[in-house]
């Protein structure tokens, strides 16, 4: 029973954190962005140059987004675990 209570409390904390994050995103004034707000949404920006199949240099930018204290990759790729039913 204690384990179920801890799971329920963790779920409630996660819901509250998610709702606060969504509220924050909805309150952002896109016409008045500053570094503080951007750092809450973006973890880092990586710029790099690669050579394509013809040897031509191609520039690209990769944005690592913050999502509830995790990057986009943390949420969708790196920490993804297969479900076993």
pLDDT tens, position by position, 52-75:
899 999 998 888 887 776 666 666
Nearest Cα to 20, choosing from 76, 69, 78?
69
Query: Residue holding tokens 């809450």?
Result: 40
Here the tokens at position 45 are 């920006």
Here the tokens at position 53 are 């199949």
Q: Please answer whether residues 23 and 17 qualify as being in contact, where contact means their C-beta atoms are separated by less than 8 angstroms.
A: no
Q: pLDDT category, 47, cuts 50, 70, 90?
A: very high
Residue 28 has pLDDT above 90, yes or no: no
Q: Tell me, yes or no, if the pTM score tops 0.95.
A: no
Antiparallel, parallel or unpaired: β 57-67 and 42-51: antiparallel
pLDDT of residue 85: 47
Here the tokens at position 25 are 């995103």
Dmax (CA) of the chain: 63
């Amino acid at each position: 029973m204690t384990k179920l209570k801890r799971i329920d409390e963790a779920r409630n904390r996660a819901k509250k954190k998610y709702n606060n994050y969504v509220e924050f995103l909805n309150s952002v004034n896109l016409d008045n962005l500053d570094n503080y707000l951007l750092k809450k949404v973006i973890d880092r920006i990586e710029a790099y140059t690669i050579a394509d199949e013809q040897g031509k240099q191609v520039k690209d930018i990769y944005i690592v987004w913050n999502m509830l204290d995790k990057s986009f990759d943390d949420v969708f790729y790196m920490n993804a675990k297969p479900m076993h039913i």
